[in-house]
Amino acid sequence: PFVADAEMLGTPDPELAATMGFSGFGKKARTFDLEAMFEQTRRTAVERSRKVLEAREREKEDQTEKEFKIPCTDSSVSTSSATGPGSTLTQREALCRESEDDSNEALSGPSRQTQSSAKGPSEDTDDDDDEEEFIGPPLPPGFKDSDDDNDDDTEEEDNNPVKKIPDSHEITLQHGTKTVSALGLDPSGARLITGGYDYDVKFWDFAGMDASLQAFRSLQPCECHQIKSLQYSSTGDVILVVSGNSQAKVLDRDGFPVMECIKGDQYIVDMTNTKGHTAMLNSGCWHPKIKEEFLTCSNDGTVRTWDVNNEKKHKSVFKPRSVQGKRVIPTTCTYSRDGKLIAAGCQDGSIQIWDRNMSVHTKFHCRQAHSSGTDTSCLTFSYDGTVLASRGGDDTLKIWDIRQFKKPLNSADGLPSFFPMTDCCFSPDDKILVTGTSVKKGGGSGKLFFFYRETFQKLYEIEVTDASVVRCLWHPKLNQIMVGTGNGLAKVYYDPVKSQRGAKLCVVKTKRKERQAETLTQDYIITPHALPMFREPRQRSTRKQLEKDRLDPMKSHKPEPPVAGAGRGGRVGTHGVTLSSYIVKNIALDKTDDSNPREAILRHAKEAEENPYWVAPAYAK
């Protein structure tokens, strides 16, 4: 049809065509043979699909051969021996024969159409399923699907637990200069609290912090007592603060007091009859299931449970006893994961475990868990609740099955600990146990050790800093490791791929620019109707004005700070409201006349001689 149109139009006069701008009309129209094009396309499509099908049939054939090789031989032998040559085929042999025939047909048959027309409807549907599973040409031999890669990675991680430790990146939070003796993370992992030997408790909000990593709140909840332990409750709305005094405190999320435990009467001998602790606290923790209940242990030789809503008296008292039945001091305490058991590590080296509801006799106990006279600094149950790990003051880390409590499942030694709160924790998958080591000043660097739970083989270690590693905490939701050190740092280790939120939120935020010179500028007052002589020149830019003000000695003069403490440099101290201090401040140091004192007296000599008034008339007679 294209050709006919071109002929019908004819070839116009070349001059006219040039004038009208139709110069292209002089060329002959190109013809397209559509049938030939369709035929070519069909052939290539058939060729391609034939290759795909051949590859698929070859795979099928291999598979059927594998499946039927053994059964076919067995059945053929049995039938021939049993019934002889004239017998009918068994069902299995017939199936085998059919499958062999099918595979031969599949190999020899060139076109797909004849086969598909010969097959029944059920076979067609099977083919459709196959096609859905495999679309497109066969994959090259070296190709790996991305899912397969991931599977391989996870398998590799399972085989090598070191790959699960998130330590590729770290951030350092500066708590102060003294030991960070307590760390707490809320259940969601949004806020971290640190407490130290400097009596301070600092609050860090990962979502609100920028890269300058500053705490948003700092307070001293227990005045001049070192912080021993900090922990968020299971719901994350309140914080338990255990310090060096005898009264534990509960704060809300923003650091405001909620309750304070009562102090017991220290003159009563039987500790069951006192309402609270009478000596310094050592440790404390929340009940994992009941959000109002918490546990504390103290140097008065008791472990007590409390209710947040009742600060007047403890709920129950547990009294650890030595072999002789004497009082012994618990240095650490914890609940089991289900909250049914209460465990305490004592100064005589024993670990004693009670049923939470029965405070008289221990349910399990091990007398020589650690060396006697050392402080067991931490007890922690594994996530599955079957195993208890203990960190001893005798430089060991042990793991126990509480059902067979006579000897530990595994033990590691040579892990120095100088702090009564050096702790240990399990990894979120329960396969690794982590603890820190202490060092003397200038004696190397404190390390974080990772042990495989089953064999207690040392998997890995991180050199944290040139001071002791006191606290460690591996948060299951964030998959980040928090570490408190002996030189006032709180470090957070994380991996951008394996970890969630937490430290990843604040490192990406840029530091806010501090504008120090802002105080020098005076507010510009806009007076639109003022006369020209009173009108202030409009400020073009604040930066130029700041530079001008900086050069002005009056505007950029820093006022002298008030004298703190005793006076110095001729300036009287601020303290003292007595009359004498007032006189000293106003009169005695009023040295306005700084000339020579002899000249100051002789200045009046001539006047006294000429006009005697006081002295000379008195002695005249």
In this prediction, residue 572 carries a pLDDT of: 65
Going by the DSSP 8-state scheme, the letter that residue 23 receives in this structure is G
What value does the mean pLDDT take over residues 126-153?
51
| Predicted confidence band of residue 466 (pLDDT cuts 50, 70, 90) | confident
Give the phi and the psi of residue 24 in degrees, each rounded to 5. Answer: -70, -20
| Predicted confidence band of residue 594 (pLDDT cuts 50, 70, 90) | low
Q: Which residue has the tokens 């031969």?
A: 104
Residues in CB range of 400: below 8 A, 6 or more apart = 351, 366, 369, 387, 388, 389, 390, 408, 409
Q: Is the predicted pLDDT of residue 82 greater than 60, yes or no?
A: no
Q: Which amino acid is at 311?
A: E
In this prediction, residue 195 carries a pLDDT of: 92
Angle between helices 91-108 and 34-83 (to 10 degrees): 150
The closest alpha carbon to 452, from 404, 397, 386, 414, belongs to 397
d(CA 182, CA 294): 17
Residues in CB range of 502: below 8 A, 6 or more apart = 189, 206, 475, 478, 480, 492, 494
Pick the more confident residue, 459 or 614: 459
In this prediction, residue 335 carries a pLDDT of: 92
Q: Look up the pTM and report it.
A: 0.59
In this prediction, residue 26 carries a pLDDT of: 52
CA dist 267 → 152, 262, 310, 359, 386 (Å): 67, 15, 23, 23, 41
d(CA 493, CA 508): 15
In this prediction, residue 374 carries a pLDDT of: 85
Pick the more confident residue, 360 or 574: 360
CA dist 613 → 349, 607, 608, 609, 616 (Å): 96, 10, 7, 9, 7
CA dist 338 → 93, 360, 390, 564 (Å): 60, 20, 18, 55
pLDDT over 70, % of the chain: 73
CA dist 313 → 100, 248, 260, 281 (Å): 85, 12, 11, 16
Torsion sign over Cα 564, 566, 571, 577:
positive
Q: Contact at 8 Å (CB) between 330 and 362? A: no
User: What's the pLDDT tens digit per position in 306-356?
Assistant: 999 888 888 889 988 888 888 899 999 999 988 888 999 998 888 998 888
Reading the block at residue 518, the tokens are 């802002």
Pick the more confident residue, 365 or 302: 302
Q: Is the predicted pLDDT of residue 376 greater than 70, yes or no?
A: yes
Going by the DSSP 8-state scheme, the letter that residue 585 receives in this structure is I
Q: Contact at 8 Å (CB) between 421 and 393? A: no
In this prediction, residue 361 carries a pLDDT of: 77
Element (H, E) at 494: strand 489-494
User: What's the pLDDT tens digit per position in 382-435?
Assistant: 988 889 999 988 888 999 888 888 888 888 888 888 888 898 999 988 888 999
Going by the DSSP 8-state scheme, the letter that residue 264 receives in this structure is P
User: What's the pLDDT tens digit per position in 112-137?
Assistant: 443 444 444 444 444 444 444 555 56
Reading the block at residue 188, the tokens are 């969601």
User: What's the pLDDT tens digit per position in 597-608?
Assistant: 888 888 888 888
| Predicted confidence band of residue 483 (pLDDT cuts 50, 70, 90) | very high
Q: Which residue has the tokens 């923790």?
A: 285
Half-sphere exposure of 164 (CA within 13 A, CB side): 25
d(CA 487, CA 516): 30
DSSP E strands, 312-423: 316-318, 330-335, 341-346, 351-355, 364-366, 378-381, 387-391, 397-401, 410-412
Residues in CB range of 240: below 8 A, 6 or more apart = 229, 230, 231, 233, 248, 249, 250, 284, 285, 286, 294
Going by the DSSP 8-state scheme, the letter that residue 180 receives in this structure is E
Per DSSP, what are the bridge partners of residue 354? 342
Q: Is the predicted pLDDT of residue 458 greater than 90, yes or no?
A: no
β-strands 424-426, 410-412: how paired? Answer: unpaired
| Predicted confidence band of residue 592 (pLDDT cuts 50, 70, 90) | low
Q: Which residue has the tokens 């002791």?
A: 468
Per DSSP, what are the bridge partners of residue 489? 174
What value does the mean pLDDT take over residues 528-533?
84
Q: How far is CA 513 from the centre of its chain?
A: 27
Residues in CB range of 105: below 8 A, 6 or more apart = 115
Q: Contact at 8 Å (CB) between 318 and 302? A: yes
- Residue 313: CB atoms within 10 A of its CB come to 14
The closest alpha carbon to 232, from 258, 210, 213, belongs to 258
Q: Which residue has the tokens 């003000």?
A: 549
Q: Domains in the chain, ordered, with CATH?
A: 163-508 (2.130.10.10)
d(CA 375, CA 417): 10
| Predicted confidence band of residue 169 (pLDDT cuts 50, 70, 90) | confident
The closest alpha carbon to 481, from 468, 494, 490, 467, belongs to 494
In this prediction, residue 579 carries a pLDDT of: 75
Reading the block at residue 25, the tokens are 């009309």
In this prediction, residue 358 carries a pLDDT of: 79
Q: Which residue has the tokens 């020579």?
A: 596
